[in-house]
Structure 1
Amino acid sequence: GAGGEFITDVDWSSFGNAADPGVWSQVHDEGVQALENIANIRVPVIAAIEGRAHVHSDYALLASVIVAADGATFQDVAHFSQGVAPGDGIFTTWSYRAGAGRAEAFLLNPQPLTARTAYEWGVVAEVVPNGKALSRARELAKLYLKAPEVTRRNTRVHFIQPLKERIVREVGYGLSLEGASAADLVKSMRAQNEPVAQKGKVA
């Protein structure tokens, strides 16, 4: 994130034609690789969240520790409320950190989740005053650096392994389901626009 926010919205135009299998194949591969790449970082990872983490909060949930500012909020504005199945890892990470029931409710009725509630759910490790998340993350990084390098590396590898296994097992499948729902959404939108276009052509 930048400018006091994590990620706030989706640039849908960047996807191109989501109904095109070739386009979605690239989205699928990049989506899987992004999560696997974060999971493969071999040192403890600290996520510092300021403002709105309303898109791809799954990236933050792959961290070893999340530090969130008091005014930070979590939400998923990119999937179910837009007519797209949340298959890109958002369910995998939230269900792992918060439990399946909470994750399903969070994704089916996406409302802003406060940092305090995320802390109560066990997703956020620390809540700090606004503007202090990054400085607190750096303090924790200095603390972790006191441990030997091999210890730091092996601790991260050990801690992330259960979630990493779920990512490998679930996200490729989930993105296939998401792609099918995205293609259906595009088809429906085109069908709604066709009568208008045909009427204009006749006139």
Structure 2
Amino acid sequence: MPDALDDRDRLLGGFVERPPLKRYAAAYAEHFAIHRNSGVVEIRMHSKGGPAVFSRGLLNAWGRVLAEAGADPDNEVLIITGTGPQWMAGIDPRSFAEPLSQWPGDLLYEQYSDGARLLESLVLGIDVPTIGVLNGPGPRQELALICDITLGADDVVIADGNFAAGSVPGDGMYLALEELLGTKRAARLAYTGEGIDAATALRWGVVNEVLPSDQLTHRAHRLAETIMATPPHLPPAHPRGRQPPMATPDHRGTAQRICTATPREQWHVEPVRWTRVGQALALPRTPRHKQRTKPYEEPRHRR
């Protein structure tokens, strides 16, 4: 496919250059180690070569690197993983030292946009099979869980800590859990802050396989090789004819809901201006069953 695209570009001209791996691998090297072998590209997040620490910069970079990787026709299977024994080694205190209520509106909007773009880039912007490798415990696991195939380390714990930390559960992690576990189980994990161990995650279908952490990367690449060895069977509009399940028409509604749902929609609170959203996110929310609602009134029509 890339050869055909190159021939077309030379013949017709006027096409914008597609992002070469060498360029975006260098641009995002602070956050990711990116390499490709025979069409299988691995994006491994890190912080200074060790386990990644979640920060506002990393969140911003994730959405952008996925957009570039998705636009590269040489990427035919995508593997996402972390570094060392942890998926993420905690949260950067500098990124969130200032209370959200004091953030300028532009920064709050960018934070929300980065979070929305993250899942949007993965679900709707990656038209090849994806393999998420949860190589250990850590926050922000939704990226690996939303992949077509998810592998988990035997010490991983799946949890949504937003509500326990005083934040609104309704972003990517909650939506991923709701899709995979159903509303009841996802709500219980969100409200209590409890986690499920690797064995339970496997039994409940959150992950496909559980292995010792030192075997995960090898297993992910073997799965990728199996996918690559399968002859293309879909229309040629998709790289090698392999379209990920989440991108098929039957799952478009789910994908759109995951990408467009917001904390406001999850909690059924009144919309707020972005200049006040910091206060809105910092305040505790009243669950729906405890909210007062007005009785239904027939709409009045002018005669």
Length-normalised TM-score, structure 1: 0.78
Match of 1:105 among 184, 188, 195: 188
Identity of aligned residues (%): 26
1:51 maps to what in 2?
136
8 Å Cα contact 2:129-2:244 kept in structure 1: no
Cα deviation digits, residues 127-156 of structure 1 (max 9, x gap)? 123321111111110011123244313655
Larger Rg: 2
Match of 2:126 among 37, 41, 56: 41
Structure 2 counterpart of 1:42, one-letter code: D
The 3-state SS of whatever aligns with 1:14 is coil
**Counterpart mapping for 1:1-203 below 5 A:** 1-15=82-96, 16-19=98-101, 20=103, 21-39=105-123, 40-53=125-138, 55-77=139-161, 79-147=162-230, 148=232, 149-153=239-243, 155=245, 157-158=247-248, 161-171=252-262, 173=264, 179-184=278-283
Structure 1 counterpart of 2:144, one-letter code: A
The 3-state SS of whatever aligns with 1:80 is coil
- Structure 2: which 5+ residue stretches go unaligned? 1-81, 233-238, 285-303
Greater length-normalized contact order (CA 8 Å, ≥ 6 residues apart)? 1
Distance 1:146 1:171, change over 3 A: farther
The 3-state SS of whatever aligns with 2:242 is helix
Structure 2 counterpart of 1:30, one-letter code: D
Deviation at 1:62?
A: 1.3
Aligned residues: 183
Structure with the bigger percentage of helix: 1
The 3-state SS of whatever aligns with 2:164 is helix
Structure 2 counterpart of 1:168, one-letter code: C
Length-normalised TM-score, structure 2: 0.54
Distance 1:169 1:156, change over 3 A: closer
- Structure 1: which 5+ residue stretches go unaligned? 186-203
